[in-house]
Structure 1
Amino acid sequence: MTQFFNNIEPNVIDDEILQKAIEEKCPEDLGDIARKESINIKVVTEIQISFKNILQIANLWPLENLTKLQLDNNVIEKIEGLESLVHLVWLDLSFNNIEVIEGLDTLVKLQDLSLYSNRISTIEHMDTLQELQIFSIGNNNLTVLENVIYLRRLKSLQTLNLSGNPFCSEEHYRLFVVAHLPSLVYLDFKLVRKSTVRFLIKTLYFL
């Protein structure tokens, strides 16, 4: 799952990359203004830095009002540098080289998190994400099906994508997940039938 981009030298998010991302996200007329004079970075609420060969997340602390951050398709190895982005509700870190879930403790407003296609082997360090509704961690290195039980602590979780992980080939994988996470509405892009949940709770598992 390691991402490479034509052997280009890895980048850290610096002022130039950040300013360009802000200009691209602004409306066309506002973008022209941003090129002539620096826009007040505190008014920026959304930013996309994709396909930039970013290795390290850094220098995002001034974006204190950011609600949506897209850092997909880079070469990021560690979740870091997000502590000050306490208003984030949407975070996309898909298609990177992340191995450990960490650095999310202060993102208590997060509702949508994508870690799809990384190198993560354990679901952990998400206890503070009590507003999380959508979580994608498909196409990683999850091998222990019982690790899914960790997600029971996320009371708002309704949509979960685990597809493409090694444990998905286990017999009764879907039934196991639905039984232990009965509040799910969608699992791996498919609707979870409430009749199935009721049956599992009643006859298969003691929850």
Structure 2
Amino acid sequence: MASASPTSVVPYKERPKPKVQINEIVPPVDFSFLQISTVEECETEEPRDVTHRKVATVKKKKAAEEDVPPKSQGCSLWLNNNSLKDVNNLMTIAISQFESPSNIGWIDISFNSLVHIDPVLTQFENLQILYLHGNDIVDLKEIIKLGTLPKLRKLTLHGNPLEEVKGYRLYVLSTLPRLQSLDFSRVTKGDCMSATVYKNFNNPNRSKKIRRDDD
């Protein structure tokens, strides 16, 4: 039986497509530095650098014909450096600006006037990066709300009053054990061990158990 010729055509096999990383290709929907005080203002404001979004020419033409701005195919939403006191209607803006709001993985609302971590943030199930630094959050227990975000890996909280609470870093890491970075600082194995000890030591059931042993 004759061997295959060196010039034989090899059947084409599609190469696996690399996974797109957050903000790798499509720029963020950027409402930063626009002096907005409510999320609703985003409905009338134009995001920064919208002309640089990589949207298909066909979609651009269709959107122009319909007088509707094209929605972003990205997964990053920035509202930093404004005067926001809450982000209650953030999902409404996400729906109006993104083709797939559920894919949003990076939200930056740093340097605003937030006093609470709004529950709306927990609706973004694919959120991996959340910047909250430079706000007015006082109560450490606000962090508990973020425990429902299964993919959250990077969080910033520095520049909030809660940063001054004793045991701040250990509390955050014990409450959100899946974090890989806190305040732009990598979470080390030592941090994880210290957070575990902190959590065990501050377990509200610990004192009750000791009392039972003494009885």
1:107-122 superposed matches below 5 A: 107-122=101-116
User: Secondary structure at the residue paired with 2:102?
Assistant: coil
Paired with 1:144 and 1:158, the residues of 2 have a C-alpha distance of 21
Residue 130 of structure 1 contacts residue 155 of structure 1 at CA under 8 Å; is this kept in 2?
yes
Partner of 1:123: 117
Cα 1:114–1:41 change in 2 (3 A) is: farther
Query: Matches of 1:185 and 1:116 in 2, distance apart?
Result: 19
Residue 138 in structure 1 maps to residue 133 in structure 2? yes
- 5+ residue gaps in structure 1? 5-9, 28-33, 44-59, 69-88
- Distance change in 2, residues 1:3/1:169 (3 Å): farther
Q: Does 1:97 align with 2:99?
A: no
1:114–1:21 distance in 2 versus 1, CA, 3 Å: closer
Larger helix fraction of residues: 2
Q: Which runs of 5+ in 2 are unaligned?
A: 1-32, 36-40, 96-100, 205-215
Cα contact 1:67–1:90 (8 A) shared by 2: no
The answer for the alignment partner of 1:155 in structure 2 is 150
1:181 aligns with 2:176: yes
Deviations 1:160-193 (A, max 9, x none): 0101001101111111101100100000010111
- The alignment-based identity, stated in percent, is 22
Q: Is the 8 A contact 2:137 2:160 kept in 1?
A: yes
> Could you tell me whether the CA contact under 8 Å between 2:77 and 2:108 is conserved in 1?
yes
Structure number with greater Rg is 2
2:73 partner letter:
T
Distance 1:108 1:169 in 2: 34
CA contact (8 A) 2:180 2:186 kept: yes
Q: Determine which structure has the larger strand proportion and give its number.
A: 1
1:127 partner SS: helix
Q: Within 2, Cα distance between the matches of 1:152 and 1:26? A: 32
- Show CA shifts across 1:7-48 (max 9, x none): xxx99847xx67x9544x269xxxxxx9xxxx52659xxxxx
Hey, what does 2:61 align to over in structure 1? 40
Q: Residue 70 of structure 2: which of 53, 63, 77 is its match?
A: 63
Change (3 A) 1:135 1:166: same
Q: Scaled by the length of structure 1, what TM-score is found?
A: 0.61
Length-normalised TM-score, structure 2:
0.59
For 2:109, the aligned partner's letter is L
